[in-house]
């Protein structure tokens, strides 16, 4: 049989997707699954956004789109960056992609050579590391420990930079921890990056509007304009606007990088779904007040989950200021045995046994680079969260 490409060696389906697939399979068998593994809002896409897509279809917007995005959507992104982030990009400094993931992959493919290094504050979203490895790059992790609220320590970042460093990837609010980056930390990070002009900076701001406790959001090119020519500011409509299935991401960055990324996009997907682009315009240019209402509901869910998890012996959980995840330690559960006889040596053992015995889907922290933790998504109803937390409690209390 013909062989497969070596570049996929060590690249697996993401743990969150794998757990969601397992949960779906069990659900199809008739089991009542509590799925807390997917990073997907349970809110509906707003009506005015759906109406915009429908109207675009009726008006004939069903032909091949421009490869880099429609002028109308790029202009809406331009307005968004100026309005919310005080960033000013020309239209040829903006690219539209099939979700933020394609934007990030385009950037890596357009810049990374074998042996280059990508600095990844950890815990981190699984796809950053895998995308870089596909390009032949090496991952340099900088651990952001729980005792520091999963914040990136500037001195640890500085120590990780070498002459081979090509990218620093920032993601705040963070997936999987929900950690935010205070202005003083971001300022210190910017000062370090000013001293290292050979390094690109990618900031994934997809959870920008999901912040709590009166925290404020700022992005690194906004904090330090002198870095703007080396920063790729990535965002999308998936999380804030509950549009995961529409698959629209966007970015702003230096013209030469955007041009190279557009070239890469042309070799894969070409342009983005025309109707989804029309919907994204409506999301970005339309009313924004409901985002605050949804953030308040997410905060209520967060507080609910934190209180219940911290009440379970053997589990501890910090209070995240953003996104819709909690990253709970299960260190106190290791070395024990479940009611069904599963020996819990690792966080992977924990989430596997939890799914099999209590039908609750979560994701092991090992997948994000820091164990022993589990990621729980609270992007679901309080009723589901209450049932999920009760099942987790029952599972842990039965450990011996």
Are 366 and 345 spatial neighbours (Cβ–Cβ below 8 Å)?
Answer: no
User: Among residues 34, 298, 322, which one has the least CA distance to residue 176?
Assistant: 322
Residues 6 or more apart whose Cβ sits within 8 Å of residue 296: none
Q: List the one residue out of 285, 212, 206 whose CA is nearest residue 250.
A: 206
Strand spans (E) along the chain: 34-35, 94-97, 117-122, 138-143, 165-170, 200-204, 231-236, 249-252, 316-317, 325-329, 336-337, 343-344, 360-361, 363-364, 373-377
pLDDT score at 12: 76
List beta partners, residue 168.
119, 201
d(CA 335, CA 367): 20
Residue 249, pLDDT score: 98
What's 165-219 look like in SS3? EEEEEECCCCCCCCCCCCHHHHHHHHHHHHCCCCCEEEEECCCCCCECCCCCCCC
Domains of the chain and CATH, by start: 6-44+290-397 (3.90.1150.10), 47-285 (3.40.640.10)
| Contact between residue 281 and residue 131 where contact means Cβ atoms under 8 Å apart | no
Asked if residues 204 and 170 have their Cβ atoms less than 8 Å apart, the reply is yes
Task: Give me 358's structure tokens.
Answer: 């209590």
In this predicted structure, what is the pLDDT of residue 11?
80
Predicted confidence pLDDT, tens digits, the chain (400 residues) = 888 888 888 887 777 777 778 777 888 888 889 999 988 999 999 999 999 999 999 999 999 999 999 999 999 999 999 999 999 999 999 999 999 999 999 999 999 999 999 999 999 999 999 999 999 999 999 999 999 999 999 999 999 999 999 999 999 999 999 999 999 999 999 999 999 999 999 999 999 999 999 889 999 999 999 999 999 999 999 999 999 999 999 999 999 999 999 999 999 999 999 999 999 999 999 999 999 999 999 999 999 999 999 999 999 999 999 999 999 999 999 999 999 999 999 999 999 999 999 999 999 999 999 999 999 999 999 999 999 999 999 999 999 9
* Closest to 355 in 3D by CA, of 335, 338, 369, 371: 338
User: What whole-number distance in Å separates Cα of residue 258 and Cα of residue 95?
Assistant: 7
Sort strands 363-364 and 360-361 into parallel, antiparallel or unpaired: unpaired
Cα–chain-centroid distance for residue 32? 27
Beta strands (DSSP E) in 73-137 are 94-97, 117-122
d(CA 212, CA 44): 21
Is residue 225 within 8 Å of 86, Cβ to Cβ? no
Backbone torsions φ then ψ of 161, nearest 5 degrees: -80, 130
What's the pLDDT at 59?
97
């Amino acid at each position: 049989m013909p062989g497969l490409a070596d570049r996929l060696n060590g690249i697996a389906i993401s743990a969150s997707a794998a757990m969601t697939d397992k949960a779906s399979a069990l659900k199809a068998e008739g089991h009542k699954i509590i799925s807390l593994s997917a990073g997907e809002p349970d809110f509906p896409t707003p009506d005015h956004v759906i109406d915009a897509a429908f109207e675009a279809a009726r008006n004939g917007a069903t032909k091949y789109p421009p490869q880099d995005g429609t002028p109308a959507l790029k202009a809406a992104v331009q307005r968004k960056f100026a309005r919310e982030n005080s960033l000013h990009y020309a239209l040829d400094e903006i690219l539209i992609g099939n979700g933020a993931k394609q934007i990030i992959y385009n950037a890596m493919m357009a810049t990374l050579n074998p042996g280059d290094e990508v600095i990844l504050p950890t815990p981190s979203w699984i796809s950053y590391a895998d995308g870089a490895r596909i390009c032949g790059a090496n991952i340099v992790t900088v651990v952001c420990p729980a005792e520091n609220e999963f914040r990136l320590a500037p001195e640890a970042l500085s120590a990780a930079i070498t002459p081979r460093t090509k990218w620093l990837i920032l993601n705040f609010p963070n997936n999987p921890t929900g950690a935010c980056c205070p202005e003083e930390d971001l300022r210190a990070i910017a000062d370090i990056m000013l001293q290292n002009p050979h390094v690109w900076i990618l900031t994934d701001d997809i959870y920008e509007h999901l912040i709590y406790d009166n925290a404020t959001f700022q992005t690194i090119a906004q904090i330090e304009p002198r870095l703007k020519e080396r920063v790729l500011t990535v965002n999308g409509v998936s999380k804030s606007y509950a549009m995961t299935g529409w698959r629209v991401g966007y970015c702003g960055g230096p013209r030469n990088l955007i041009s190279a990324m557009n070239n890469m996009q042309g070799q894969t997907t070409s342009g983005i779904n025309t109707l989804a682009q029309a919907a994204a315009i409506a999301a970005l240019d339309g009313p924004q007040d409901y985002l605050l209402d949804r953030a308040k509901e997410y905060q209520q869910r967060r507080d609910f989950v934190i209180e219940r998890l911290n009440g379970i012996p053997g589990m501890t959980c910090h209070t995240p200021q953003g996104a819709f995840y909690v990253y709970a330690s299960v260190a106190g559960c290791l070395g024990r045995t479940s009611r069904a006889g599963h020996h819990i040596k690792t966080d992977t053992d924990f989430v596997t046994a939890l799914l099999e015995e209590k039908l609750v889907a979560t994701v092991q922290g090992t997948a994000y680079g820091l164990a022993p933790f589990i990621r729980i998504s609270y992007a679901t109803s309080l009723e589901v969260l209450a049932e999920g937390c009760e099942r987790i409690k029952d599972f842990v209390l039965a450990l011996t």
